[in-house]
Amino acid sequence: MRLLTGSSGGSRVRARSPASIAPIAACAAAFALSAPAAKLALSGQAAVWSRSTVSVALFAGALALVAGALVIHRGLRCRRPPSAWLVVDSRGVHRVERGKTTTLASFNAPLGVTVFASADRSKLLVALTFPGAVRTVAVRVRDANDAAAAHTLFARATTAADGDLLADDECSLSAADAEKLLVEVARRCPGAFDRVLLTDAGGDEIVLDRTELRVGTRRFDLSAPLEWRASLFQELGVYAVSVFQATWLHQADAEVVFVAPMPPEGSEVRSAAAAVQAAGEAIVVQAAFALDVRLMQASPGEPPPRELRRAIDRVFMLPLRRALDRAPRLARPAAAPPRSVAETRRGERDRRERHR
């Protein structure tokens, strides 16, 4: 697939209205965009098909007929035209399918872009976040050349569990086209990659915008010293015990705890060597993977007070921790482990009751 110049008003190319277009195939998910093999890749596959046809002619009888039929069928599938297009123009990111245009994200409103990747960097997800919703674009690395053309994509990727990156392998952008998508969005919407816009389970907005984090009415200055820590805790449900990950954040009088369930497989971490090999960008992937592994570390602890909890999608826990990790830390004596304000108040209340 190749980004072309065209109009956002239809599925055909129009030179009079510049836009970046990438062909995508229809996908069952309501907000997941996708694409068949890139046009450049299709050309390569066609060449393989031609060579295979010549090779098949050397075989005799039924074996040649069967092999030839399989190769022809594969060639026809590769040449199937895309049923939809992903369009980026001055207004935003759109999906065009059968003459109908659906806007996925508008540049006239706050927009955040976050890239997630599997540990082996073979599967990625581009998340477009804006107030009230999250739209995703699935990405699959075709080969080493495809990976080599997507430096920005891998440099911005945060490691996520495979279960959070589920998508049809035949319905996804190539890494090279995803790279072009990121470049075009960055050109038209500066600052989008430093922004995350979420809504917690209670309906409060969670906005990460460069050096500020807003959680409902609470504001955290990420350029000023703060305290934060990662932890794990268990809670007994109706039928089983659930394990949650938590990120506690405290600055001045503001305090909050982000919580999310742990991935079903238990860990996003696999082989760093496999990640480097798959992505083809050793230095970039090693640095990003090492950072994510460090930020995943968490100590078991008690369940945080419910009034401080803010439930978020677990895939966004690491991006939030990355932002907190860049902020200056408030110095504390090594012998005094940090406790939440609520925990401190609760301990003081318990001591007063014991002395009565």
Give 202-213 pLDDT, tens digit per residue: 889 999 999 999
Cβ–Cβ under 8 Å, residues 114 and 319 = yes
* 132 within some domain: no
Residue 147 C-alpha from the chain's centroid: 17
* 166 within some domain: no
Q: Are strands 212-215 and 218-221 parallel, antiparallel or unpaired?
A: antiparallel
Q: Where a domain ends, among 58, 78, 98?
A: 78
What type of residue sits at position 62?
A
Q: Which of 225, 301, 210, 292 is nearest to 257 (CA)?
A: 301
Chain position carrying tokens 């026809």: 76
Mean pLDDT by 10 residues, the chain (356 residues): 37 35 39 33 28 36 47 48 78 86 91 93 92 90 88 91 77 88 94 94 92 96 96 88 95 96 64 49 74 92 95 96 94 56 60 59
Residue 288's pLDDT is what? 84
Alpha-helix residue ranges (DSSP H) falling in the chain: 39-56, 61-78, 144-148, 151-155, 175-188, 272-279, 282-296, 317-326, 341-355
* Number of domains observed in the structure of the chain: 2
Residue 322, both tokens:
């990355």
The span from the CA of 93 to the CA of 153, in Å, is: 17
Residue 243, both tokens:
């394990």
* 273 within some domain: yes
* 62 within some domain: yes
* 267 within some domain: yes
pLDDT digits 0-9 by tens, 13-64: 332 333 444 554 433 222 233 443 323 222 233 222 223 333 333 344 444 4
Q: Where a domain ends, among 26, 58, 78?
A: 78
The span from the CA of 101 to the CA of 84, in Å, is: 10
* 144 within some domain: no
Range of the domain at 46: 41-78
* 177 within some domain: no
Q: Where a domain ends, among 54, 78, 102?
A: 78
Three-class secondary structure of residue 116 per DSSP: strand
What type of residue sits at position 119?
A
The span from the CA of 86 to the CA of 27, in Å, is: 12
Residue 142, both tokens:
């075709």
* 254 within some domain: yes
